[in-house]
Structure 1
Amino acid sequence: MRIVIIDDNASMRKVLATLFASLGHDVVGSFADGNGVEELIQQTTPELVCLDYHLPGRDGLTILRAIQAEAPAIDVVFMTASSEPGVEAAAADAGASGFIRKPFGQAQIIEELKAVERTRQKANHTAADSKVARTPGNQRGRRGTAVVADDNGSVRLVLKGLLEECGLQVVQSVTNGAEAIQSARNHQPRVLCLDINMPVMDGLESLPKIIEASPETRVIMITGSADKTLVAQCAGLGAVGYIIKPLRPAYVEGFIQKLLG
């Protein structure tokens, strides 16, 4: 993979660059801050960014959102030594494909990279398959339709790929709860994946309205937080379950297969 490292610690940048190179990856950029990250992304065209949280200037979450807005196909592994509550959930909701707490060992970062790579390969493989003209014998979509509602482009791409791998046809991807309600009304999908944190109207507000618009739709909440109160609230409003970000193919596919029976 083509990798960019953004960390204000020079020793950390050197250690990561050496490790990635030893694994056969191409480190195409190493920076002490994320200022001008949009231009850096255009110049280096990475497939993955290792991004620290605490940086001079803009912090990692702000930079993560900028990367996702500029190029949602780029995976971001978010790194932090912070014990700040909620930072992992915030990074996941902002689109991080992986998360590492410092200090970490080589095995940990290697496994996280492999998990991110497997997820992206799975999504890309399914996306490529979906471009092939469907024949009467093609089984994709045999299990019904699905809608994806998430304000993060990377999450929408990955979820679409994983749902189609499970035999569902994703008929629409939307970016907020209001659009999700309209999509549910129009398509009456078998499954609707609904992010909790979205602009305009969030998942909790839109959930009961989605179920009212399409009573047979099974709504799965997508969230960066496994907070028990939040999970119980979603269940009380009619969700059939939840999936934690960052997304991992084995878990998502196992959940969907069990749901569909």
Structure 2
Amino acid sequence: MAHRILIVDDAAFMRMMIKDILTKNGFSVVGEALDGEEAVAKYKELTPDLVTMDITMPEMDGITALKEIRQFNDQAKIVMCSAMGQQTMVIEAIQAGAKDFIVKPFQEDRVIDAIQKVLN
């Protein structure tokens, strides 16, 4: 059975890019969220195998959402997505329990490598 993934990013274009990469590599995208608040709600509703989480979003940022999801499920597998130059935020996210991170613009092989590593 295909692994179920929730994509979280405030930019529709970024969600579409990562969704294309995932679906053509055999993953099932079960939901999408525009911000951290929606991500937490969708995580609880859908219980995906993995979440790709943007760091910088309105309403609730990705690190806060990561912490809330991990309070709900400390086994949650979350891969952070960041733009260049967000190293301090990436370190904070890893310390908060993120399993890996991928850098925008997305490179297909790096996305798949990170996700497979976290799921296995």
With over 3 angstroms needed to count, the CA separation of the structure-2 counterparts of 1:253 and 1:259, relative to structure 1, is: same
The question of 1:248 aligning with 2:107 is answered yes
Q: Give the secondary-structure state (helix, strand or coil) at the position aligned to 1:170.
A: strand
* Inter-partner Cα distance in structure 2 for 1:257 and 1:205: 24
Q: 1:182 aligns with which of 34, 38, 41?
A: 41
TM-score by length of 2: 0.90
- Structure 2 unpaired stretches of 5+: none
Give the partner amino acid of 2:108.
P
Which residue of 2 is the match for residue 225 of structure 1? 84
| Aligned-pair CA distance for 1:232 | 1.6
- Structure 1 unpaired stretches of 5+: 1-141
| Aligned-pair CA distance for 1:167 | 2.6
Give the partner amino acid of 1:211.
R
Which residue of 2 is the match for residue 50 of structure 1? none
* Inter-partner Cα distance in structure 2 for 1:164 and 1:144: 10
* Inter-partner Cα distance in structure 1 for 2:92 and 2:28: 28
With over 3 angstroms needed to count, the CA separation of the structure-2 counterparts of 1:254 and 1:193, relative to structure 1, is: same
**Residue by residue, what CA displacement relative to the aligned partner does 1:214-252 show, whole Å, maximum 9, x if unpaired?**
333210101103543222211111100110001111211
Contact 1:226-1:244 at 8 Å conserved across structures: no
* Inter-partner Cα distance in structure 2 for 1:147 and 1:160: 9
Which residue of 2 is the match for residue 125 of structure 1? none
Which residue of 2 is the match for residue 193 of structure 1? 52
Contact 1:191-1:220 at 8 Å conserved across structures: yes
The structure whose RCO (Cα within 8 Å, separation 6+) is larger is: 2
Which residue of 1 is the match for residue 29 of structure 2? 170
With over 3 angstroms needed to count, the CA separation of the structure-2 counterparts of 1:181 and 1:236, relative to structure 1, is: same
Identity %, equivalent residues: 28
Structure with greater Cα Rg:
1
* Inter-partner Cα distance in structure 2 for 1:202 and 1:257: 25
Contact 1:188-1:214 at 8 Å conserved across structures: no
Give the partner amino acid of 1:188.
T
Contact 1:164-1:170 at 8 Å conserved across structures: yes
* Inter-partner Cα distance in structure 2 for 1:144 and 1:253: 12
- How many residues get paired? 120
Give the aligned CA root-mean-square deviation in angstroms: 1.5
Which residue of 1 is the match for residue 17 of structure 2? 158
Give the partner amino acid of 2:12.
G
**Residue by residue, what CA displacement relative to the aligned partner does 1:165-210 show, whole Å, maximum 9, x if unpaired?**
3332111111000000001111111110110010111111111101
Q: Give the secondary-structure state (helix, strand or coil) at the position aligned to 2:16.
A: helix
TM-score by length of 1: 0.44
Q: Give the secondary-structure state (helix, strand or coil) at the position aligned to 2:32.
A: strand
